[in-house]
Structure 1
Amino acid sequence: SIAPNGDPGEIVYTQPPLQSTSYYKIAQGEYITFGWNFTNVAVTPTAITVSAACDNGNTYPVGPSDGIIAGNAQSVVWYPYGYQSANPGLPLAQAEYTLLVFAQGGPSAIPSPGYLAPNSQLRFALYTPQPYTPLASGWQCAGCGGALEQFKAHPASIALLTTLLVIFLSGFTTLRRVWD
């Protein structure tokens, strides 16, 4: 029996840690494991849906079976590269995602004592690595090319700086004469 004033069931993540955003590569052979424990779950759900909600508004199923796993499962392994290859019409974005884990009630179910409450606490990011380009083949730093541009001085700014320097030094010399 479930106490009517009991706590709703919750997920406590064991992998990856919640303290910081984890970054995962969308590449061949790179798998992601999400793991959790249950607390206060008195009624085991028949199934759990796991999906990744992207900041771009799209939601992607997580896991091998369209995001639906056994209700007592405590982890899911996702192969983003496999998903990307099988779904070219809805590719994974290089962005941050929120892992959504919920039971039959859906992602917006009202938490009830003893039943698994929807969870959206875990954030992670996906990225696509760039292919290696050797220096001899013309590799250039993408963020470094325009670094010197911001330091080019305009003639008017040089004139203003020089004028202010002359005024400061003249004033300092005048003050020294007053104090002597």
Structure 2
Amino acid sequence: MKLDIIIFLCCFLVSSAAYSESPLRLHDLAARNALHMRAVSVPSSTKTASSSRSSITSSFASVSASETSSPASGSGPPIGDASSTTNSASMTASASTGSSSISVDPRSPPGGVSMITPAITASQTYIKVGDYATFSWNYTSLIVTPSAVNVEAYCSINNYYYPIAENLTVKDTQVVWNTSGYQETATIPLLVAEYTLYIYDASSNPSAVASPGCLAPYDNLNFGVYTPQAYTPLNNYQCATCSASFSLIERNVLRGTLAMSLIACLFTVLFMMR
């Protein structure tokens, strides 16, 4: 009886072991199939990810290339530091342009000229044709610098401006007028008359009204110009402006007449005293 029970238990254990082994084998088979499927699917996803990364990299490279080439080709707005550099360059240009302009207070007086030679306080100035005449001056209250300055002598008899110097800079404040050289080559010669010295902006005219800070035409110096005459002996000299004067013979006759009158008066007085 005991032997039968032992045999039954052994058979039961053997059959249960076989039954439990088959599900494990089936489970292992299913697990292996799942791992195989995963192994097959992983490379495809990896390839997909790699291809997407490649496309992203290529698109980024194309975008970078277009951004790099866009400033060089001139198409499209500058980016990054290029914009700030452009702005800085434009600001510098505008600053340099703005520095060339001069702001003048409208209440400022016009610029003027202060004569040094000849001095305004001196007596009448005369210039002999054939001599060198010197004019020197300083500028006063001058804010806007003229590009060129003209110096001329105006004669009211023929209403002509005789050029002394043209296109001077503001640094040239002295001129020497060669009246002899001018008289020899002039189409309109110098007259014996009174002249007015003009110093004015070459871009303007002698009668212009100057703006504040600009050079006003100067016309406060008058001088005479005369031509020397050849030497004439006193006996042959005749004064053109002395028509009422006596000649030498007339003066001698007058002296004789006065002498005779004095002698006659003297004898008359002596006769009466007797």
TM-score when normalising by structure 1? 0.71
Q: How far did 1:146 drift?
A: 3.7
SS at match of 1:84: helix
Q: How far did 1:134 drift?
A: 3.8
CA contact (8 A) 1:40 1:114 kept: yes
Q: 1:41 corresponds to which residue? A: 142
Q: How far did 1:140 drift?
A: 1.8
Aligned residue identity for 1:96: E
Q: How far did 1:141 drift?
A: 4.3
Does residue 132 of the first structure (1) align with residue 235 of the second (2)?
A: no
How many angstroms apart in 2 are the aligned matches of 1:115 and 1:59? 22
Please list, as runs of the form range in 1=range in 2, the aligned pairs for 1:141-152 lying within 5 A after superposition. Answer: 141-142=238-239, 146-148=244-246
Please list, as runs of the form range in 1=range in 2, the aligned pairs for 1:85-164 lying within 5 A after superposition. Answer: 85-87=184-186, 89-103=187-201, 104-135=203-234, 138-142=235-239, 146-148=244-246
Q: How far did 1:145 drift?
A: 6.2
More helix by share: 2
Identity of aligned residues (%): 40
Q: How far did 1:114 drift?
A: 1.3
Q: How far did 1:46 drift?
A: 1.1
Q: Which runs of 5+ in 2 are unaligned?
A: 1-102, 248-274
SS at match of 1:102: strand
Aligned length, in residue pairs: 142
SS at match of 2:214: coil
Q: Which runs of 5+ in 1 are unaligned?
A: 150-180
Q: 1:31 corresponds to which residue? A: 132
CA contact (8 A) 1:45 1:72 kept: no
Output one character per residue of 1:50-104: Cα deviation in whole Å (capped at 9) or x when no partner.
Answer: 11110211221013xxx332233211111111111011x3110000001111102
TM-score when normalising by structure 2? 0.48
Q: How far did 1:108 drift?
A: 2.2
Q: 1:133 to 1:71 in 2, by over 3 A?
A: same
Higher relative contact order (CA 8 A, sep 6+): 1
Output one character per residue of 1:15-66: Cα deviation in whole Å (capped at 9) or x when no partner.
Answer: 1122332001002xx1001111111001221110111110211221013xxx
Q: How far did 1:144 drift?
A: 5.2
Q: 1:166 corresponds to which residue? A: none
CA contact (8 A) 1:44 1:72 kept: no
CA contact (8 A) 1:9 1:40 kept: yes
Who wins on radius of gyration, i.e. which is larger?
2
Does residue 50 of the first structure (1) align with residue 151 of the second (2)?
A: yes
Aligned residue identity for 1:41: L
Aligned residue identity for 2:151: V
Runs of 4+ in 1 over 3 A off after TM superposition: 143-146
Identify the match of residue 68 of structure 1 among 153, 164, 167.
167
Aligned residue identity for 1:106: N
SS at match of 2:199: strand
How many angstroms apart in 2 are the aligned matches of 1:125 and 1:141? 23
More strand by share: 1
Aligned residue identity for 1:70: T
How many angstroms apart in 1 are the aligned matches of 2:243 and 2:219? 40
Q: 1:171 corresponds to which residue? A: none
Q: 2:116 corresponds to which residue? A: 14
SS at match of 1:85: helix
